[in-house]
Amino acid sequence: MTDPALADSASAAGPSAAPLILVVDDEPPIQRLLAAVLVDNGFRTVQANSGKKAFTFASTYSPALILLDLGLPDLDGVEITRRLRQWYLPPIVVISARGRETDKIEALDAGANDYLTKPFAVGELLARLRVWLRQPPDCGGDSASALEVGDLRVDLSRRLVFVEQREVHLTLTEYKLFVTLMRNAGRVVTHRQLLEEAWGPAYSNETQYLRVYMARLRQKLEKNSVRPQYLLNEPGVGYRLRAP
């Protein structure tokens, strides 16, 4: 299947108002089945048969949801999920022949929202898609639409971060860490809590990840990253966002 044919499916599958689903699977029969089912149920589709095309089409078309098979020829689906989660926010639903509990945990920890094992019932797939597409962009549990601490501000509804009214771009992981600290402003947040919020329980002891990402946050948010005003280290315990 050539790239032009894949691209054409996004515009030919239905009205522009319908949600666009990116289907990532290297098996043509599965691609055809999913495309037919999704179009019949009011979705548009674009299809990729490799990890490289998944990244390209996710960036080009900004799909409302990604259906992702784990067994792709060029890159494992778990790694694709992990990389996508650096910048892609909408739901990722894994559909895979791998049915072991460890496979499901690995995919979910990497950032997948849901996991269906092949063969799956079409009705169940559609029901799960509808559930995830009904979810608001931010499901952190806050009733407030924004968080503010001094010159720092987070617009939760749009996932935007501002410093002195200047918008600052954060990756998804940086955003998760920063929002966790903002929600706990003035309190120490442990290494374990920050790691689990950003990467999941499987990474609760990977403190080196945290050091790298906190350094990046300071470079982006602090006037002087060497002498931070807001993002403070509590040695051996965690980090604290200083409240004025």
Burial of 167 (0-12, 13-18, 19+ CB in 10 A): exposed
With pLDDT > 90 as the criterion, what percentage of the chain qualifies?
45
- Among residues 86, 105, 88, which one has the least CA distance to residue 96? 105
User: Which structural domains are found in the chain, ordered by start?
Assistant: 3-134 (3.40.50.2300), 146-241 (1.10.10.10)
pLDDT in tens, 116-161: 888 888 998 998 898 888 765 444 444 468 899 999 999 987 888 9
Strands 65-68 and 92-96: parallel
pLDDT in tens, 61-108: 889 999 999 989 999 999 999 889 877 888 899 998 887 878 888 888
- pLDDT for res 135: 62
* Whole-number Å distance between alpha carbons of 87 and 118: 28
Contacts of 14 by beta carbon, 8 Å cutoff, 6+ apart:
39, 42, 43, 44
**∠ CA 98-103-106 to the nearest 5 degrees?**
150
Tokens of 168: 């600052």
Tokens of 35: 């495309």
- Residue length, the chain? 244
Count of Cβ atoms closer than 10 Å to residue 143 Cβ: 5
Alpha helices in the chain (DSSP H): 3-12, 28-40, 51-61, 77-84, 101-110, 122-134, 172-183, 191-198, 207-221
